[in-house]
């Protein structure tokens, strides 16, 4: 088997499992947020701030952001490796999306933890 350093997992099976696990985490996070909106009659700034001030919500949000980034990276890698054949262009696009996803992660951390 050929290992590719550009994938998140060690193989296609590992990437498949990561995609499914990240999708489950994102679905659970969606249900979590929907549950909040269903059970809260009026969402004010103070209620929203208290909701995201809870450590469990912060940790779950960061976990969801990580799941989203893993999900996105594997998808981007698969699309680029399938449809972009010139290695230089594919490498440049992979670098661009890697930096973009790191910026999204940093923005998520700053937003959630308020640093």
Q: Are 21 and 64 in contact, with CB atoms under 8 Å apart?
A: no
| 71 known ligand binder | yes
Query: Taking the CB of residue 92, how many other CB atoms lie within 10 A of it?
Result: 13
Q: Give Dmax (Cα) for the chain.
A: 55
Burial class (CB in 10 A: 0-12, 13-18, 19+), 60: middle
Measured CA to CA, the distance from residue 113 to residue 21 in angstroms comes to 24
| 29 known ligand binder | no
Binding residues: 71, 83
Binding residues for heme: 71
Binding residues for a ubiquinone: 83
């Amino acid at each position: 088997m050929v290992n590719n350093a550009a994938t998140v997992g060690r193989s296609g099976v590992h990437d498949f499992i990561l995609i499914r696990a990240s999708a489950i985490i994102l679905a659970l996070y969606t249900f979590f947020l929907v549950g909040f909106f269903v059970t809260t009659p009026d969402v004010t700034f103070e209620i929203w701030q208290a909701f995201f001030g809870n450590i469990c919500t912060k940790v779950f949000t960061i976990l969801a952001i990580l799941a989203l980034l893993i999900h996105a990276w594997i998808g981007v890698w698969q699309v680029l490796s399938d449809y972009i054949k010139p290695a230089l262009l594919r490498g440049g696009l992979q670098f661009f999306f890697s930096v973009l996803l790191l910026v999204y992660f940093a923005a998520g951390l700053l937003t959630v933890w308020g640093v």
